[in-house]
Amino acid sequence: MSSSPTRRQVVRLFPVPSRSRPLEGLYLNEDLPAPVAGVPALVYANFVTSLDGRVAVSDNGGTSRLPEGLTNSRDWRLFQELQAHADCLVSHGGYLRALAAGRLGNILQVGTGDGSGDIVRWRAAQGMTGQPAVAIVSASLDMPIPDSLSTYAQPVHVLTTTTANEDRRAALEEAGYDVVATGAGPWVRARDAVEALAERGYRRLYLQTGPRMLESALRERVLARLYLTISHRLVGGDRFDTMVRGDAPLGVAGRLRLSALYLDEAPDLDCGQLFARFDTA
Ligand SMILES: NC(=O)c1ccc[n+]([C@@H]2O[C@H](COP(=O)([O-])OP(=O)(O)OC[C@H]3O[C@@H](n4cnc5c(N)ncnc54)[C@H](OP(=O)(O)O)[C@@H]3O)[C@@H](O)[C@H]2O)c1
C-alpha cells in the first residue's frame, strides 16, 4: 500500500466537525455497541451497495454475483477490521456453495491476507482466539464444508430447521459438526440463531450473510449495527438483489440512525465510496 496521505486517509463527514482519519484502524479501533436490549449477543452486519441499491446482479443463467467494481481493497480492509471484533462469524449455505464454485473468495478466516498482520496482533492483544468460530445457517444443508475451517481449527456450528434433510444432518454430525435445529422453518430465524450461539458462549456475531438473514435480523430486532459501503456508481439492470427482500415492508423495523459517515476519494479508486454506520437503537 502506498504511503501518500490521500491514499491512507478518509474524511469523516459525520459526526461533525469533519476531519481526516486514517483508513486503517477506522473500524478496528472503534467501540462496538452493546447488544440490542433483550438480545443475548451483539449482532452486526456489513453490506456493500451501489447508489441504486444493487448488492448483486444476476446473469442470463440466473447466477447471482457482486456487481463489477463494487468491492475494492479499501472496503476489504474494513470488512476484515469488522471480522476482527467477532467471536463468531455467521455464514450461510449460499456462500459456501459460491465459495466452492469459485464465484466468491474465502472470507471465513480473519487476518490471513497480505497486510493484515496487525489484525492478528490486535485480536491477540484483546485476549481473543486467533480465529473466530463459524456458524453456518442453512435450510437445505446442501453445501460443502470448506477445508479451511479445520485447517484453522475453528469451531463450526450448523444452524438449520427441524425439517432439514435427515441424511444430510446425520452426515454433518458424523463428520463432527455441531448441528442445531433452531425452529420449524422454512428458514432459520435470526433470533433463534443468536440465542443458539449465545448458549454456546458467543457474544459478538458478525453476520456475513445475505438478504434473507438481514431481513430476519431486522424484523426480529436483533441487529444492533449495520455497516454499509456505498459505492458512488449506478449499476442498473433488471435482475438484481437489494439488501432485504420479504413479502411485506419492514416498517419501523427498517428505521436506522446514522452514527458515522466517512468519504473515501482515494485516487486509485475508479469511483469514490462512503462508509456509513447505522445503529438500530
Ligand atoms: N454486496 C453485498 O454486500 C452482499 C452481501 C451478501 C450477499 N451478496 C450477494 O447477494 C446475492 C444474494 O445473496 P445470498 O446468496 O446471501 O442470498 P440469501 O437468499 O440471503 O441466502 C442464500 C442461501 O443461504 C441459505 N440461507 C440464508 N439465510 C438463511 C436462513 N435464514 N435460514 C436458512 N438458510 C439460509 C439458504 O440456502 P440453503 O438453505 O440451501 O443453504 C439461502 O437460499 C449473492 O450474489 C451474494 O453474493 C452481496
Domains of the chain (ranges, CATH numbers): 44-54+71-243+255-279 (3.40.430.10)
Helices 211-219 + 190-199 axis angle, to 10: 80
Residues 227, 229, 233: CA angle, nearest 5 degrees: 155
Q: Determine which of 75-79, 132-136, 153-157, 265-269 has the lowest per-residue pLDDT on average.
A: 265-269
Residue 124 alpha carbon to ligand 1 centre in Å? 31
Q: pLDDT band at residue 5, thresholds of 50, 70 and 90?
A: low
Residue 173 has pLDDT above 80, yes or no: yes
Q: pLDDT (tens digit, 9 = 90+) per residue, 12-50? A: 999 999 999 999 999 999 999 999 999 999 999 999 999
**Shortest-distance Cα residue to atom 42 of ligand 1:** 94
**Cβ-contact 217, 223 below 8 angstroms:** yes
Query: Residue 208 C-alpha to ligand 1 middle, in angstroms?
Result: 9
Share the mean pLDDT of the chain.
Answer: 95
Average pLDDT over residues 255-272: 95
Q: How far is the CA of 93 from the centre of ligand 1 (A)?
A: 7
Distance of alpha carbon 17 from alpha carbon 235, whole angstroms:
32
In the predicted model, what is the mean pLDDT of residues 231-250? 94
CA 127 – CA 148 distance, rounded (Å) = 23
Confidence band, pLDDT 50/70/90 cuts, at residue 62: confident
Rg, C-alpha atoms of the chain:
19
Contact 214, 35 (CB under 8 A): no
Indicate the top mutation candidate among 54, 78, 138 to test ligand 1's pocket, ranked by most ligand atoms within 8 A of CB. Answer: 138
Q: Is the C-beta atom of 187 inside 6 A of ligand 1?
A: yes
CB of 159 within 6 A of ligand 1: the answer is no
